């Protein structure tokens, strides 16, 4: 994530001229789905997923811009983007943050009961099991960005396992409450 943010900050933050040149390059591109990169804000973790999503969608334009740049730092940024393993990891994190953002949005809003939220959390823990199977077999059916970018790395398998380990105790507390409540007459 830090390396992706360095690339984004290099394009957006080095100078306003450089940022305008990137926006012009993107505007001229027929395949660009967005007009610009998003800055990530550490205060709001949801912005990680959105910044990564936009970055991956504009990856070809970012690479083209860095190739055209005459700055020495652009070469370092481009080397990172040309590393297949690094870009596979970026694609994976884009997808996983997308799934986490979706869960977060499902938990928000008026009229949600604790039962609705527990169901969403339990459903997500089951999805994590599915994701682990998906990543372990290399099928990556639930990881569209990863499927288009590259292959599975050990980091991905470990990350899913860690995510499961973090979610499990948190959801079990709620599950125990709802299941014990259901058993009472």
Q: Which residues contact 45 (CB under 8 A, 6 or more apart)?
A: none
Q: What residue segments make up the domains of the chain, in order of their start?
A: 2-82, 85-183
- Placement of tokens 């940022």 in the chain: 19
Backbone angles phi and psi of 148, in degrees to 5? -85, -20
Residues making up the chain, counted from first to last:
185
Segment 51-73 mean pLDDT: 89
Q: Chain-wide mean pLDDT for the chain?
A: 84
Segment 4-13 mean pLDDT: 86
Most distant CA pair in the chain, distance: 74
Q: Is the confidence at residue 61, as pLDDT, over 90?
A: yes
DSSP symbol at 29: -
Segment 14-30 mean pLDDT: 86
Q: Is the confidence at residue 185, as pLDDT, over 70?
A: no
What does the block give as tokens for 131? Answer: 């994701």
pLDDT at position 30? 83
pLDDT in tens, 86-127: 899 999 999 999 999 899 888 888 888 888 888 898 899 999
Residue 181's pLDDT band, with cuts at 50, 70 and 90, is very low
Residue 10's pLDDT band, with cuts at 50, 70 and 90, is confident
pLDDT in tens, 129-154: 999 999 988 888 999 999 988 788 88
Q: Report the distance separating Cα 165 and Cα 167, nearest Å.
A: 6
pLDDT at position 176? 53
Rounded alpha-carbon distances, angstroms, from residue 37 to 120, 143, 181: 31, 21, 48
Instruction: Please state the pTM of the whole predicted model.
Output: 0.83
CB 150 within 8 A of CB 88: yes
Segment 62-82 mean pLDDT: 89
pLDDT at position 34? 86
Segment 59-67 mean pLDDT: 92
- Placement of tokens 């409540």 in the chain: 181
Q: Is the confidence at residue 7, as pLDDT, over 80?
A: yes
Q: Is the confidence at residue 177, as pLDDT, over 70?
A: no
């Amino acid at each position: 994530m830090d390396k992706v943010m360095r690339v984004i900050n290099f394009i957006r933050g080095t100078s306003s001229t450089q940022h305008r040149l990137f926006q012009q390059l993107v505007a001229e591109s027929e395949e660009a789905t967005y007009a610009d990169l998003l800055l990530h804000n550490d205060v709001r973790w949801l912005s990680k997923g959105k910044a990564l999503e936009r970055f991956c969608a504009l990856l070809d334009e970012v690479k083209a811009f860095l190739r055209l740049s005459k700055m020495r730092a652009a070469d370092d940024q481009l080397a990172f983007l040309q590393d297949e393993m690094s870009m596979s990891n970026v694609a994976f994190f884009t997808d996983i943050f997308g799934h986490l953002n979706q869960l977060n949005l499902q938990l928000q809003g008026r009229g949600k009961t604790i039962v609705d939220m527990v169901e969403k959390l339990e459903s997500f823990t089951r999805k994590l099991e599915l994701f682990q199977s998906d990543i372990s077999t290399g099928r990556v059916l639930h990881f569209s960005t990863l499927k288009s970018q590259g292959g599975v790395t050990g980091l991905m398998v470990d990350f899913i396992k860690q995510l499961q380990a973090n979610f499990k105790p948190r959801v079990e507390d709620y599950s125990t409450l709802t299941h014990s409540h259901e058993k009472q007459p």
